[in-house]
Structure formats: structure tokens, C-alpha cells
Amino acid sequence: MAETIEAPAIVEQAKELLDPAKGGELLEKGMDLLMQYGMKALAAIAIFIIGRMVAKWVQRLITRMMKKTDVDPMIIGFTSSIAYIAMLAFVVVAALGQLGIQTTSFIAILGAAGLAVGLALQGSLANFAAGFLMIIFRPFKLGDVIEAAGVTGKVDAIHIFTTTLKTPDNKTIIIPNGKLSSDNIINYSTQETRRVDLTVGVSYDADLKEVRRVLEDIISKEERVLKDPEHLVAVGELADNSVNFVVRLWVNSGDYWGVTFDMNETIKTRMDEAGIGIPYPQRDIHLYQHNVE
């Protein structure tokens, strides 16, 4: 049978709760708790607000200092963002510690979560690390023409995870930084001058002295060819179907393709005018007839 409470007992309990002495005691305990934890909460909020302001101030300070040294804008933005995030993380941990939360356990949880995320995103992290290293060591910069990862193009943008190239026919190629940093990088824009290498094949019946004279005359009339370093015209190979002359010219990097195309056309025209043949590949075919009885 369920226990019942008499009406007089309920009345007595209500009187005890409404007793001013006991009510004051409860209010006093509540005020003590409010003062104890309320002050901690206010201190934690103050730490977070002030810490965030300090982190933003440090970010702006780093940006101003790096701008004075003419650092690449991309490096400035990346460095200032990393500094702000690191300081903000420190501020959050300090605020949680003020609230009485065991930050060591919290940091351990974050570390475990970071490890799990790192294993899941190891490819992206590799690209991030490669992008960071490229920003620091700068094997190329915006506007450079490079050959890497099997493609050639002008560097259009360098991001943390990818690098964007623009090809001569106006195609956009996006390359992961991890792949870019693990391959050979040929930078065509770092040097002021480049060498144009041409191979000119002439017939075995041609007068080699006359061929050399024509080539030297073509080079002397090309104003974009530099005098220093000196050019080279030499017999490079006695090939199967032709005598191959090697022509090496030094030009400014910006004139490389123009000189290459113009020299090829001019050499063909001048060889035709001089009656010097540029042979096609030839094969001698001998037919043997056998009488079959």
C-alpha cells in the first residue's frame, strides 16, 4: 500500500521553506556561488576579449613590419594569419583554464582529434607543407615561366594547397603543391639571358665553308643576338642523310621564341637562295630478282 502524507505534515514542510531564516541561508549560498563562478566567468570572457584584441593587434603589426621590407603579399597574408590563429588558440585555452576546466585533458582531446584529421587529410597536409616550403624558399614567383609536373606555363597564382599555371594557349592548369615540389622545376625566367640551340642539316654535297658563311651572315644581321657571350657555328654531326650544323645563340630571355622562329625561317630562305640543299631522310632500296623454276 502506497505511503500517504497527512495534510498537517505538508503544511509544516511549507512553513519551513518559507521560514525567513532558512530562505536567507539559501540566498546567501546562491550569492556565494554566483560570486565564485560569476567572477571566473567574467574573467574568462575578459581574457578572451582582450586576448582577441591583442592577437589582431599583433597580426596588424606583423603585416606592417613585413610590408616595410617589401615581402611578397602572399607571404605577408599567410604569416599574419598563422600568427593570429596560434595566438587565438592560446587565448581560448587560457580562458577555459580560468573557468576551472582541465586544459590538459582538453589539449589531449584536441591532439587526438588533430591526429585523426591529419591521417584523413594527409594528402592535403602534404600539399600544405609543400606550399609553405615554396612560399619560404621561393623557387619561382608570380609571372615566372616554369616547367614542372609534366607541364609548362606562366605562374598565375600560388596558393597554400595548389599552384595555378597559365599555358601559352591560355589554358589554366592547377597543380597540387605536393606533386609540384616532388618533381624537377625548370624556371625559364630567373636568368636574364637564354641560349637558342638550332640544328641545321645540309646535304653531303654542300660546300661547308659556304654554309658557314651564310649562317654567320644571318647571325650578324639579327640585332637581337647578343655579342657576349659569343655565338657558335660548328659541324655537330655527320648524320645518315645530312651534315648537321650546330648553331648556338645568346639572346635576352624575352626574345627567345621570337629569335627561334625567325631564325628557322630565315635559314631556310637563305639556304634556298644560295642553292644549298636541306635533304629529306632517304632510304636506298635494292631489289633482287631470283628465277624460280
Q: Which residues lie across from 70 on neighbouring strands?
A: none
N residues, the chain: 293
Domain range spanning residue 52?
A: 22-120
Q: Which of 199, 172, 194, 169 is CA-nearest to residue 257?
A: 194
- 157 and 115 together in one domain: no
Distance between start and end Cα atoms, the chain: 130
Provide the pLDDT for residue 71. Answer: 60
Domain count, the chain: 3
- 41 and 91 together in one domain: yes
Provide the pLDDT for residue 72. Answer: 62
- 29 and 107 together in one domain: yes
CATH of the domain at 59: 1.10.287.1260
- 180 and 244 together in one domain: no
- d(Cα 85, Cα 246) in Å, to the nearest integer? 58
Is residue 11 in a domain?
no
- One-letter amino acid at 240 equals D
Is residue 53 in a domain?
yes
Provide the pLDDT for residue 287. Answer: 77
Domain end: 62, 87, 120, which one?
A: 120
- 30 and 105 together in one domain: yes
Q: In what order do the strands lie in the sheet with 232-238?
A: 193-202, 243-252, 232-238
The residues, ordered by sequence, that sit 6+ positions from 208 with a Cβ below 8 Å of its Cβ are 202, 235, 243
- 231 and 164 together in one domain: no
- 171 and 102 together in one domain: no
Q: Which of 242, 98, 146 is CA-nearest to residue 156?
A: 146
Q: Which of 113, 122, 168 is CA-nearest to residue 145?
A: 168
For residues 288 and 221, is the Cβ–Cβ distance under 8 A? no
Chain-centroid distance of CA 249 in Å reads: 34
Cell of residue 152, nine digits: 609548362
HSE of 236, CA atoms in CB hemisphere, 13 A: 13
Provide the pLDDT for residue 3. Answer: 47
Cell of residue 56, nine digits: 589582431
Provide the pLDDT for residue 33. Answer: 58
Q: Which helix (H) or strand (E) covers residue 253, if one does?
A: none
Provide the pLDDT for residue 96. Answer: 76
Cell numbers 591521417: residue = 119
CATH of the domain at 240: 3.30.70.100
Is residue 9 in a domain?
no
For residues 201 and 239, is the Cβ–Cβ distance under 8 A? yes
For residues 196 and 260, is the Cβ–Cβ distance under 8 A? yes
Tens digit of each residue's pLDDT (9 = 90 or more) over 242-284: 999 999 999 999 899 999 999 999 999 999 999 998 887 767 7
Question: Would you call 77 helix, strand, or coil by DSSP?
Answer: helix
- Do you find a cis peptide bond into 229, omega within 30 degrees of 0? yes
The residues, ordered by sequence, that sit 6+ positions from 155 with a Cβ below 8 Å of its Cβ are 140, 141, 142, 143, 144, 145, 146, 163, 164, 165
Is residue 287 in a domain?
no
Global confidence as pTM: 0.56
Encode the chain (293 residues) as per-residue pLDDT tens digits.
444 445 555 555 555 545 555 555 555 665 665 666 667 777 778 888 888 898 888 888 888 887 776 666 666 776 777 778 878 877 887 877 777 766 666 666 667 766 665 655 566 677 777 877 887 788 888 889 999 888 999 998 887 788 899 998 999 999 988 888 888 899 998 899 999 999 999 999 999 999 999 999 999 999 999 999 999 999 999 998 899 999 999 999 989 999 999 999 999 999 999 999 888 776 778 777 776 65
Q: Phi, psi (5° rounding) for residue 66?
A: -75, -30
Is residue 289 in a domain?
no
